[in-house]
Amino acid sequence: MSGTEDLGPGDISPDSNDRIREFLARHGGPAARKASTGTTVVGLSGWSEVYAADGYTLRCDWSRMGSLQEMKFTENPPPQSR
Residue-number span of the structural domain to which 34 is assigned: 3-76
Count structural domains, the chain.
1
Q: Rounded mean pLDDT of 40-57?
A: 87
- Note the pTM of the prediction, 2 decimals: 0.71
Does residue 31 come out as left (phi exceeding 0), alpha (psi in the -120 to 50 range) or beta?
A: beta
What pLDDT does residue 28 have? 96
Q: Is residue 42 part of a domain?
A: yes
Q: Is residue 56 part of a domain?
A: yes
pLDDT score of 62 more than 90: no
Q: Is residue 82 part of a domain?
A: no
